[in-house]
Amino acid sequence: MKIAMWSGPRNLSTAMMYAFAARGDCAVVDEPFYAAYLAATGLAHPMQQEVIASQSTDPLQVAADCIGPIPHGQSLFYQKHMTLHMIPGFPRDFLRDLTNVFLIRHPARVVASYAKKREGPTLADIGFQQQAELFDQIADQLGQAPLVIDSADIRANPKRALSGLCAALGISFTEKMLHWPAGPKPYDGIWAPHWYNAVHRSTGFEDPEAALPDLAKGYADLVDQALPYYEKLAAHKL
């Protein structure tokens, strides 16, 4: 099975990748379209040139790799994808050959976290609109809503949330998914030193989150723009 997990940045996406890698039967890949996205858009991102040099910049090749043989002879292939990377002109037909899941997080938490790493994010940077568009496209293909899981539910009760996700995917749950060793991982993207400091200190999912953060007006306006897209997908969460 090839599992494509679609989220925006700062959505618990790296911790989820670590959880699936910890199973022992699952190959993982970290944001395979990132270099192609940066090369195509010319956007300035931290470690931009290093990212472009580290991956294929051909979106057709990346898509082919996503649906090709599972690496390392494993039975599962977990793909951590950023919805914002799927810009117009990038292939979408490969989605039919994947089991697509949507990982969501309240936009107030996303914006507060993202702004600590890269100032002045826009709606396009945080991926909510693109996530909703992909959700609709895959729902049309399936004839039903694809799977959605909320990071708040994962942090509130990781075992229950991941057990439910695995059951919905038709795969076994293992307690190995709840813990991983601290530090960098060999499958991390080359951008990890900038973005993954907190998750590298972790050995499992963090405790439940507190109240939503207070944000300055510009950031609060961005949350208001993103909120309808989040709420749309949240209505379908496990």
**Topology of the domain comprising 2-234:** Rossmann fold (3.40.50)
Q: For the chain, what are the domain ranges?
A: 2-234
- pLDDT per residue over 163-218, tens digit each? 999 999 999 999 999 999 999 999 999 999 988 988 999 999 988 988 777 776 77
Amino acid at 96: R
Helix 217-234 to helix 107-115 angle (10° resolution) is: 140
| Spatial separation of the C-alpha atoms in residues 23 and 27, rounded to whole Å | 9
**Which phi and psi angles does 142 have, rounded to 5°?**
-80, -25
Note the pTM of the prediction, 2 decimals: 0.93
| Spatial separation of the C-alpha atoms in residues 17 and 139, rounded to whole Å | 23
Once rounded to an integer, what is the mean pLDDT over residues 127-143? 93
Both tokens assigned to 26: 């699952």
Look at residue 127 in the predicted model and tell me its pLDDT: 84
Both tokens assigned to 208: 């439940």
Number of C-beta neighbours around residue 216 at 10 A: 8
| Spatial separation of the C-alpha atoms in residues 149 and 165, rounded to whole Å | 8
Burial 88-125 (b: 16+ CB within 10 A, else e): eebeeebbeebbbbbbbbbbbbbbbbbbeeeeebebeb
Look at residue 122 in the predicted model and tell me its pLDDT: 83
Amino acid at 118: R
Residue 134 scores a pLDDT above 80? yes
What is residue 164's three-state secondary structure?
helix
Look at residue 223 in the predicted model and tell me its pLDDT: 87
- pLDDT per residue over 77-101, tens digit each? 999 999 999 999 999 999 999 999 9
Given a contact cutoff of 8 angstroms between Cβ atoms, the answer to whether 90 and 209 are in contact is no
Confidence of residue 57 (pLDDT cuts 50, 70, 90): very high
Q: Is 183 exposed, middle or buried (0-12, 13-18, 19+ CB in 10 A)?
A: exposed
